[in-house]
Chain A
């Protein structure tokens, strides 16, 4: 299967290890991964801030870049949510029926990582090893836009060595919300505080989610609260892809 990686602009510049982890998982499972270099951004930041006109060229670009592949995978529920739910709206508003059809076709084969693994490739055990106490925060868009449900947890439960603990109030938003974190910074921070309190209660040392954006917000709150990430007993943030890519080092 010809799988294209949509890295997402945030992971590209800030969290490239998430992209590398995604590639490692898929190649370990025997798939070929392509990285079309002409890719840019899904346009979600522009759409969700009200700049639909600026987002439209990115929608056209996305369709053009990813059309040739069998499947597109992104390590982000939010960006896949944008492709699946917002691109059609923008194609209708600024494009043509022809573009709308292309956008729909590409959206239908664009998957968040856990969807690709579980639904398309049919695997839950990806051969990972991660001997840490982990709690999982289901990000809002993966949960309520994509309805990934239990898929990330099924993947995590199959990881060897993992001690997976349940996060109380898991389904409540962490407060990131894109430019919401800047425009309504005080509310965002109040939501973050409550989320981090719940995370701390679990006793986990690793906070896992499947969106680099939410993790940037959660991680920024954690380091602010507890000092450097490498201090003892500190909680670290980790992307789902990074856990699934981890394997036992040969001794």
Chain B
């Protein structure tokens, strides 16, 4: 029997399949192939990620104690994760003491039901939303729509995604895959359906596009009675919630409506106000490449006569406890959703976010999504392999999540899970076992290396000029775009056996 926190137990449940947006409908390589074929997408992504990563590097390099800040960020989050049970109870007590209501949601289904019930109790049919990863993760908008409630995204990029009936492709810049002429077309075509229509003379000037969104959204803000938000941070000591944003739409949603519902992953906690000092430096510099984000909204419970008069906090697990249970995977829960790892990732830069199938794309998504959903069933088992392990993500992570090591760990989880599922090894497993058997043999391996040269005549059939340009599977995946060299006529060890260290003095 396995143990968890020292007690005999089964592993905590993972996020349920079929609800929310944590996994796609096909494996990463297939989705990536389509994305790569889209030249416009690659140009948009290439330009946008290059801009953001250059900005980030500039503002991070100007902070003399960045390494210490980063270590502090990691340490604070690790403390939160190690004492999550205590901090969550403390948070609940504080929120309740200040007039808020706390709801505990085991998974996406429960969270959606809680929020839907809360909105239905108010009797309204329209709610405004602050950009939130947690509500995207659980598919809240879709759940509300099923109950006849329209949830309007008010972040500019989320609005673009929503109007186009599209999916977000980046944590911070969900419409990064769109350029401005595409955005103009979406506004002209869809805004009328959703509320105030765009001026038919709308140009693709960024200012004009922002103004069109402002006009469209202004009416939504003024009419809204209920707002739904996520949270960047929650302070356990005081029950304070915090949202950081750039456009002011969040501030509108958090202050104007009568009812505020916040859905927050349980790992978003910080122990005290003082800890915000670290994160309000780490986050904006890592995410938007700004020294400080334009709007930081913080609220504590309910204040009579000022702001929302009803506040609900929904604490979401949805696979987080399962992630916490894995010592080699749990530091993924340090993530503050800055998206710096996406912007430096050579894979993300070329495929964009949709290929990952989850609201969490890029390197962090490749380690977080499969942990939240588990690697069995669904296509998230392909995500830990969607990386060349180049390590750029780890270098920029403001909370020092060792993503490459975690990817390697999750790959072994995937392989072990497959081995447990199937009686017969997959062709890959059989190949890996055979090579492993050869390699650990004292006599076998030297013989195998020396024997490789026997493959050279194959080159006469498959190749030219000593290179193989067409090979059978699985090497065909290599030769589709690259030549493969032939084994050397004489291996190093064969030559050494002949000449020993004389080879150093001899001719090459």
Q: Which residues of A come within 8 Å of B, CB atoms? A: 7, 9, 11-17, 19-21, 23-24, 26-28, 32-35, 37-38, 40-41, 43, 45-52, 54-55, 57-58, 61, 85-86, 89, 140-141, 143-145, 171-173, 175-192, 216-217, 219-221, 223-224, 228-229, 245
Known A51-B412, A86-B408; contact A185-B480, beta-carbon cutoff 8 A: yes
Most buried by A among B385, B389, B413, B433: B389
> Chain A residues near B350 (CB, 8 Å)?
187, 190-191
Q: Are B392 and A144 closer than 8 Å at their CB atoms?
A: yes
9 contacts between A and B (CB under 8 A): A13-B452, A37-B493, A172-B346, A177-B388, A182-B475, A188-B388, A216-B484, A217-B482, A220-B482
Give B466-508 as 1s and 0s: 1 = Cβ < 8 Å from A's Cβ atoms: 0101000011011011111101101111011100010111001
Q: Which of B150-158, B219-227, B440-448 contacts A (4 or more CB under 8 A)?
A: B440-448
> Chain B residues near A45 (CB, 8 Å)?
435
Asked if B99 is at the interface of the complex by the 8 Å CB criterion, the answer is no
> Chain A residues near B475 (CB, 8 Å)?
182
A178 to B477: give the CA distance in the assembly, Å. 13
Contact partner of A177 among B387, B428, B478, B493, CB < 8 A? B387
> Chain B residues near A15 (CB, 8 Å)?
485, 488
Asked if B439 is at the interface of the complex by the 8 Å CB criterion, the answer is yes
Main SS at interface, chain B = helix
> Chain A residues near B433 (CB, 8 Å)?
51, 54
> Chain B residues near A141 (CB, 8 Å)?
389, 391
The 3 A-B residue pairs with the shortest CB-CB distance in the complex, in nearest-first order: A177-B388, A220-B482, A54-B436
Q: Are B389 and A12 closer than 8 Å at their CB atoms?
A: no
Known A20-B508, A173-B390; contact A184-B408, beta-carbon cutoff 8 A: no
Q: Are B484 and A220 closer than 8 Å at their CB atoms?
A: yes
Shortest CB-to-CB span from B366 to chain A, Å, is 11
A35 to B502: give the CA distance in the assembly, Å. 12
> Chain A residues near B388 (CB, 8 Å)?
140, 173, 175-178, 180, 188, 191
- In which size bucket is the chain B interface? 35 or more
Q: B400-442: which have CB < 8 Å to A?
A: 405, 408, 411-416, 428-429, 432-433, 435-436, 439-440, 442
Asked if B395 is at the interface of the complex by the 8 Å CB criterion, the answer is yes
Q: Are B501 and A33 closer than 8 Å at their CB atoms?
A: yes
> Chain A residues near B485 (CB, 8 Å)?
14-15, 216, 219-220
Q: B322-363: which have CB < 8 Å to A?
A: 346-347, 350-351
Closest to B386 in A: A184
A51 to B416: give the CA distance in the assembly, Å. 8
Asked if B28 is at the interface of the complex by the 8 Å CB criterion, the answer is yes
> Chain A residues near B218 (CB, 8 Å)?
none
Q: Are B487 and A14 closer than 8 Å at their CB atoms?
A: yes
Asked if B62 is at the interface of the complex by the 8 Å CB criterion, the answer is no
Contact partner of A140 among B391, B474, B481, CB < 8 A? B391
Q: Are B482 and A13 closer than 8 Å at their CB atoms?
A: no
Q: Which of B29-37, B174-182, B230-238 contacts A (4 or more CB under 8 A)?
A: B29-37
Contact partner of B411 among A9, A41, A49, A217, CB < 8 A? A49
> Chain A residues near B504 (CB, 8 Å)?
20, 23-24, 26-28, 33
Main SS at interface, chain A = helix
Q: B236-289: which have CB < 8 Å to A?
A: none
Q: Are B484 and A140 closer than 8 Å at their CB atoms?
A: no
Known A41-B439, A57-B436; contact A16-B477, beta-carbon cutoff 8 A: no
Known A38-B442, A40-B440, A220-B483; contact A54-B493, beta-carbon cutoff 8 A: no
Q: Are A184 and B389 closer than 8 Å at their CB atoms?
A: no
> Chain B residues near A219 (CB, 8 Å)?
483, 485
Asked if B449 is at the interface of the complex by the 8 Å CB criterion, the answer is yes
A57 to B487: give the CA distance in the assembly, Å. 25
Contact partner of A46 among B384, B436, B488, CB < 8 A? B436
Q: Are A173 and B392 closer than 8 Å at their CB atoms?
A: yes
Contact partner of A187 among B351, B392, B495, CB < 8 A? B351
Asked if B311 is at the interface of the complex by the 8 Å CB criterion, the answer is no
A58 to B475: give the CA distance in the assembly, Å. 24
Q: Are A178 and B389 closer than 8 Å at their CB atoms?
A: yes
Closest to A55 in B: B436
Closest to A43 in B: B439
A9 to B405: give the CA distance in the assembly, Å. 23
> Chain B residues near A187 (CB, 8 Å)?
29, 32, 36, 347, 350-351, 386
A245 to B505: give the CA distance in the assembly, Å. 11
Asked if B465 is at the interface of the complex by the 8 Å CB criterion, the answer is yes
Asked if B394 is at the interface of the complex by the 8 Å CB criterion, the answer is yes
